[in-house]
Chain A
């Protein structure tokens, strides 16, 4: 099939529809508005439902209802809206309901900015809401990858009965790239005997619930959830490794930043600096093992993020003090330039004095 030129947000929406998602509940917030707008146009064409909720809180609870009723369902938002959804996300995890939540990150804290950011890494990878839980987090670094990860997100959500977050940034959401869209999958192809659809008396009554008032029962429920998280950690880690084997410096970056870092690495290599990259595709579960393995051979790590330094914690945990872990980040919606990252690579490689200004030639 011929490639289509699509905006990231719209590609995510179309990918969801082709993954069999027929219900979307959302609320307007920049920079992800193309997703609900696209859904409002497409859902009626495919017999689905788009409903603009009165709030982010209602949207995620509509997702809870639709998911509990057995449907493939999605919502999307950006940081401030995702914060409002956290109550519902915690309930979705507790009640073991599958769904896909897209966060097209913008600068924060507070109302912040509407420009790209990766400042919601902690929120996404540490659960985000109240209670003791994790959620699979997929971080695309191209529009094409946003399509494949959105589709995979629905499958992983159903496989583990869990919400899955697709964590993009404003750049991924708004830029256009050529994409291959997959064929549509069958609707309702996943058997959900636990769903509330009306009780015929022949099966146990469906009770979608996250309340376990007896602490010993809740602890058992939590142990079961933790076992599920452990299964996800052992089976679902995804990452890319580029030029790592001989690298003296391994950059760790995800999403848009990984692309910027890739260009910087290419230029550094041309200068004789052996730089490589590990690019987490799943932020949770985090690719700790390849980073730990790289720590045996490389001299240092450089984590680059559009935040003040969040993923670096996971990198440090994986490196476990064996090698230096350096950091370069921009915040507030500022996107690091290739020359900035190259400058950091040179500093890390000892090739330039950190007191020197960034060379203007790049």
Chain B
């Protein structure tokens, strides 16, 4: 009998620690599929963040390092400078990347560091229990914005793809979503493209994935997927923000 569907080689057999309805699982699978498809499992080194994906070092079947909060791009820089022929990626959430790790991600992009960042944006701190992130939408209720995020207090959410696309060192920057099958397929293509960009020896590449947090959003998994489409995408438009092979979008 022909096998038509199976777990990617680049995922381990460990049971994921993510909540029901969270899209980290889908994104892990897409990253692993890209590594498998490009045949680079044996030369990929991943960097796990602080946050819900902290245990990513257990899930990706590649050599892994765990980084301090927000520091994954600096750690990846150290790895890539030692092993320029390896594929190095960071896997980071929005608190990790867009808040405490803002300096590290901006300068990694600025240097044109030949790494790939998988940026999972679910507009909230998940692991710590649902606090406001720099990406939290205006009016969104979190445990540290109990009256809803107010612009006069916290400013507007930060759009990282738009910001990073401005850096000359960025080669490929795209924002995708995984809230329905069509968008999952688009996300898969973007992740593959980001890794191909790194393999080509070009500069920094990042894929931002709009993701869900049913637990901390206080929604069911299906409500969460709908909220991505109805509330997140209007503020975080999908698209390719930088593709140096084609010129800026």
Contact = CB atoms under 8 A, between A and B. Distances in A.
Interface in A64-101: 64-71, 73, 87-88, 91, 95
Contacts of B57: 207, 209
A200 B57 CA distance: 16
B45 A61 contact: no
B107 A196 contact: no
Contacts of A65: 47, 65, 67, 74-82
Contacts, number: 132
B163 to A, nearest CB: 15
A351 to B, nearest CB: 54
Contacts of A59: 74
B13 interface: no
A208 interface: yes
A58 B103 contact: yes
Tell me if B's interface is mostly helix, strand, loop or mixed. Answer: helix
Interface in B22-38: none
A198 B44 contact: yes
B71 interface: yes
A205 B80 CA distance: 18
A121 B228 CA distance: 52
B79 A51 contact: no
A301 interface: no
Given A51-B77, A57-B103, A64-B75, A209 B86 contact: no
A321 interface: no
B79 A205 contact: no
A217 interface: no
B74 A69 contact: no
A320 interface: no
Interface of A: 23, 25, 49, 51, 53-55, 57-59, 61-71, 73, 87-88, 91, 95, 196-201, 205-211
Given A91-B68, A211-B54, 4 more contacts: A57-B103, A57-B104, A64-B67, A64-B71
Which 9 A/B pairs are nearest by Cβ-Cβ distance?
Answer: A65-B78, A61-B74, A66-B78, A196-B63, A65-B75, A54-B107, A62-B78, A208-B65, A61-B71
